[in-house]
Structure 1
Amino acid sequence: MKINSFLLAITSLSLAIHCTAEAAVSASEAAKLGDTLTPIGAEKAGNADGSIPPWTGGLDKAAASVDSASGRPADPFADEQPLFTITAENHEQYANRLSEGQRAMFMRYPQSYRMRVFPTHRSVSVPEHVQKAAARNAVSTTLVSNGDGLRDFETAIPFPIPQSAIEVMWNHLTRYRGGSARRSYVQATPTANGTYTPVHFKQQFAYRDQLNDFNPEDPGNVLFYYRELITAPARLAGNVVLVHETLDQVKEPRKAWIYNSGQRRVRRAPQISYDGPFPASEGQRTSDNLDMFNGALDRYDWKLLGKKELYIPYNNYQLESAELKYSDIVKPGHINADLPRYELHRVWIVEGTLKADARHIYAKRIAYIDEDSWQIVLLDHYDARGALWRVGEGFMTPLFDKQIPMLGVEALYDLINGRYIVSGMRNEERDPLEFGFKVSSAEYTPTALRNAGVR
């Protein structure tokens, strides 16, 4: 009895130390990467009935043609037909493989919302240098400031073998997105009857290791730099947002600026964080709703609910097609249900509950994170009464030729007012989609912001 009590005390002490220090995993545990786990931490094996296949390396780089001008890949699964379609009439039959948000969408839009379910393809892959960085991170990266920051982090995916909810969220925040990227895209915030004015953006971001002047010996606290220019409509054209995203946003909060072309002034913009309204979103998206979720984690208590097999948006090449007009996508209530593709995949489920002393319009969030990419693909948002308010969908479209697990289009549906915001549409854009270029930090200064916004 005394021996058991002693062992229990030692075990409890060990767990307490682990929870406090959030230590990296052991070398023997990290050896699972590339063996039973994919190089970035998903289960290699398929599921019991074969409806989720084993991961075998992702899509081949030559899986389909790629438009040389726009960088838009063709659909490698264009000849496939849906296995079945989930509708309001039959969705209870599939309830165990749907999120609460998806079930709510069937009830909110019983006549029009549906999900076409296709065979599952585990198409995600990342370059070798990202795989190696994830392996190094597994044994070296630790959480600091009660989980609000990272130490000894490199490139992407600090916790490929996560031990807690906050580590899973950090994997989403730091997942591989090509290092640096430039793209033109369109956003729409239709009214309940479907009318909208398209807003055109030019977006550019770069992770710190893509800067010409990056010093790995003294990396600083900036994770990445982000700049977004509105080019249309005329009333918004020339407005620019600049963000310096920090690794530890409690120690050093996100730095943000706005250039207003009408006033021709650059202003600090601390409101572009947490639940501050994101510019040009007509109140349909908070600042931390972009990219499904972004920014500091400190206002929520995060709880890991485990893994589950769900039907999630995946391999949405049809939704990216240059043959579509924006009017083909944007419909009343939600995007055109004849376009998205859903597949059965394993997801991590993380619940965030607003801390008692914190403020945010969302009292609870439940995130569903794709195990193969660490991308949040579904996100349910609850109000202070505990009612489901907004439902987010991220339409994964891996860029197989570049080995980038890309989130193309994303949508956020308001179940109460019947409106939504959809962004990331590139169907009618002809500018190239660029990745992996080197830039100078001088491109991400308030002075550069003013120059970028001149009309």
Structure 2
Amino acid sequence: MKKTMNKNFDKTMTAAAMLLLSLSAGSAFAKVSEVEAAKLGDSLTPLGAVKAGNADGSIPAWTGGLISGAEAPSKDSGRPANPFPDDKPLFEITNENLAQYRDKLSPGQIAMFAKYPGYRMPVYQTRRTAAYPEALYDVVKKNATSTELVAGGNGLTNFDSVIPFPMPQTALEVVWNHITRYRGGSAERTMTTIPVQADGSFVPVKMIDQLVWPEFLDGGRDAKSDDNVLFYYLQQITAPARLTGTALLVHETVDQVKEARRAWVYNAGQRRVRRAPNVAYDGPATGVDGLRTADNLDMYNGAPDKYDWKLIGKKEMYIPYNTYKLMDPSLSYDELVQAGHLNPEHLRYELHRVWEVEATLKEGERHIYAKRTMYIDEDSWSASVIDHYDGRGKLWKVAEGHNVMFYDVNTPWMAAETLHDLDSGRYLVTGLANEEPQFMEWDNKASRSDFSSAALRRIGR
């Protein structure tokens, strides 16, 4: 019965993929019928992933995700304990056996083995831990039958909160699911960004960032004040001294044809707040030693209008998953950060199904990345691997999002994300908090005034 179901699914996906490749990524397919949407929570998970496992059982069926762990997380640090402390690697991918696994790796992942001969990738049992709060599943199903892309695909209409297209039919719909995925509603992180030099040396940049959806502000969403706002974002740098006080404020818009992202920065040196239209696309980021662009944060963010998008289809792939070791407060940054890449001893990869999406820079547009290939986890809609190509078509950078499930708050997010420059041998790791006394704070009470330019000025001072 199981094998028949998987064979039928494979045939269906192959036929669908052939049809999709002939369609423009900007076509406004969007909403599906009530009959189609009824598959959510039935043959599909409530978020649109295939509920069944794969043919050989190496990817298990989704059975509800991880909504409670083996141990309660520390209330003082906001770190969930590792729910799988006894798991051991099934095997490791190395340069010696790479040929056996290349079909389940991205070109960027394969390039890491060529760049670093001692690189290895520990592969563990696949655990489909992703889950959302139960109340959001009804929101996602409603979106499936109502949300549409605006003209050109650069925004959404008739959209509510999270995941507009759980049954995507175009590449842009897949990308919008990543952009709008649930990240706790209201969350504050105390974290460290580390630009790592080719020799492994680094100076940590510490910061606090806050992400809040309008629905989670005091008083909830306001029809006028929060019109066209997807979320509010605030970032404050606290170390090193030369950057302390630098702050960034973003009002992320939903329909970016109607209105572009609103952004302001407070520069500690200049002691003033200014609008920052360059906090978008390939604009420079602060405190990263030139290693990432504005739209590299969170793997990929912002308006998708500079690219032509193509849906390649689905595939099975080894991606970072359930990497709870990266949040272990007993580990120091020196133990995690090595020359070339993070210490593989503390990484975890699993076999999962991903959506493969290709973005090619439009004729006449400018961006330092001429092409991006994204691999987006079907269970959480998080971009888990992204390969970046330069203007010559050469593979340049590879990004990985180390997924974890914050099971105490039913929120999939990342323990950290990395961005490797294959040319220079440098890389950036964002999101570590092992040496910080506090990591995540959820359900923070915030008001709309906390995300004003006046508030930004007060924070800087």
Query: CA contact under 8 A between 1:63 and 1:400: conserved in structure 2?
Result: no
1:19/1:395 Cα in 2 relative to 1: closer, same or farther (>3 Å)?
closer
1:403 Cα offset (Å): 0.6
**Would the alpha carbon gap of residues 199 and 432 (structure 1) be closer, same or farther in structure 2, given more than 3 Å must change?**
closer
**C-alpha distance in 2 between matches for 1:19 and 1:227:** 31
Counterpart check, 1:130 vs 2:128 = no
Aligned partner of 1:22 in structure 2 is: 29
- SS of match in other structure, 2:388: strand
Alignment of 1:375 onto 2:402: no
Deviations 1:277-332 (A, max 9, x none): 11111110000000000000000011000000001000000111011101111111
Counterpart of 2:370, as a letter, is A
CA distance in 1: counterparts of 2:282 and 2:108, whole angstroms? 20
Decide whether the 8 Å contact of 1:313 with 1:395 is kept in 2.
yes
Q: Does 1:167 align with 2:136?
A: no
For 1:422-437, list aligned pairs within 5 A. 422-437=429-444
1:23-42: per-residue Cα shift (whole Å, max 9, x none)? 40000000000000001110
> In 2, distance between residues paired with 1:26 and 1:428?
49
Q: What letter corresponds to residue 237 of structure 1 in structure 2?
A: T
Residue 423 of structure 2 is matched in structure 1 by 416
Partner in structure 2 of residue 6 of structure 1:
none
Q: 1:327 to 1:19 in 2, by over 3 A?
A: closer
* Counterpart residue number, 1:5: none
C-alpha change, 1:430 and 1:40, in structure 2 (3 Å) is same
Verify: 1:250 aligned to 2:240, yes or no.
Answer: no
3-state SS in 1 of match to 2:344? coil
Q: Does 1:66 align with 2:73?
A: yes
After superposition, residues 296-445 of structure 1 pair within 5 angstroms as 296-445=303-452
**2:247 equivalent to 1:260:** no
Structure 1 letter corresponding to 2:456: L
Provide the aligned C-alpha RMSD in A: 1.7
Structure 1, residues 319-347: CA drift from partner, whole Å, max 9, x if none? 11011101111111111111110000000
Partner residue, 2:113: 106
Separation of aligned partners in 1, 2:29 and 2:71: 42
The residue identity in structure 1 corresponding to 2:190 is: S
Which of the residues 180, 184, 187 maps onto 1:181? 187
CA 1:359–1:213 in 2, change beyond 3 Å: closer, same or farther? farther
For the pair 1:289 / 2:275, whether they are aligned, the reply is no
For residues 63 and 244 of structure 1, what CA distance do their matches in structure 2 show? 37
Structure 1 distance, partners of 2:190, 2:57, is 39
C-alpha distance in 2 between matches for 1:247 and 1:117: 37
Structure-2 separation of matches of 1:139 and 1:60 = 27
Residue 343 of structure 1: SS of its match in structure 2? strand
- Flag structure 2 segments of 5+ consecutive residues without an equivalent: 1-18
| Range with bigger deviation, 119-128 or 426-435 | 426-435
Instruction: Tell me which amino acid in the other structure corresponds to 1:415.
Output: L
Structure 1 letter corresponding to 2:161: T
Letter in 2 for 1:151: T
Kindly indicate whether the alpha-carbon contact (under 8 Å) linking 1:333 and 1:419 is maintained by their aligned counterparts in 2.
yes
Q: Alpha-carbon deviation of 1:22?
A: 2.5
User: 2:161: which partner in 1?
Assistant: 155
Flag the 1:306–1:338 CA change in 2: closer, same or farther, 3 A. Answer: same
Q: 8 Å contact 1:250–1:298 — kept in the other structure?
A: no
Q: Is the 8 A contact 1:213 1:441 kept in 2?
A: no
1:290 and 1:272 map into 2 onto residues whose CA distance is: 11
- CA shift at 1:16, angstroms? 8.9
Deviations 1:385-428 (A, max 9, x none): 11100000100011011110011200000000110110100111
Instruction: Specify the alignment match of 1:56 in structure 2.
Output: 63
Which segments of 5 or more consecutive residues in structure 1 lack a partner in the other structure?
Answer: 1-11
> How many correspondences in the alignment?
440
TM-score (normalised: structure 2) = 0.93
AA at the equivalent of 2:73? V
Name the TM-score, length of structure 1 as normaliser.
0.94
Partner of 1:91: 98
d(CA) in 1 for partners of 2:337, 2:256: 35
Cα deviation per residue 1:90-115 (whole Å; 9 max; x = unaligned)? Answer: 1111011111111000001012x110
> CA separation in 2, counterparts of 1:92 and 1:430?
43
Measured in 1, the distance between the counterparts of 2:264 and 2:23 equals 41
Q: Is the 8 A contact 1:259 1:450 kept in 2?
A: yes
Q: State whether residues 85 and 114 of structure 1, in contact with CA within 8 Å, keep that contact through their aligned partners in structure 2.
A: yes
Q: Which residue of 1 aligns with 2:7?
A: none
| Paired-residue identity, % | 54
Match of 2:218 in 1: 212
Instruction: Report how far residue 268 of structure 1 moved.
Output: 1.0
Contact 2:25 2:308 in 1 (8 A): no
Instruction: Report deviation, 1:17.
Output: 12
Q: Distance in 1 between matches of 2:386 and 2:111?
A: 12
SS in 1 for 2:196: coil
Alignment match of 1:239 (pick from 246, 255, 261): 246
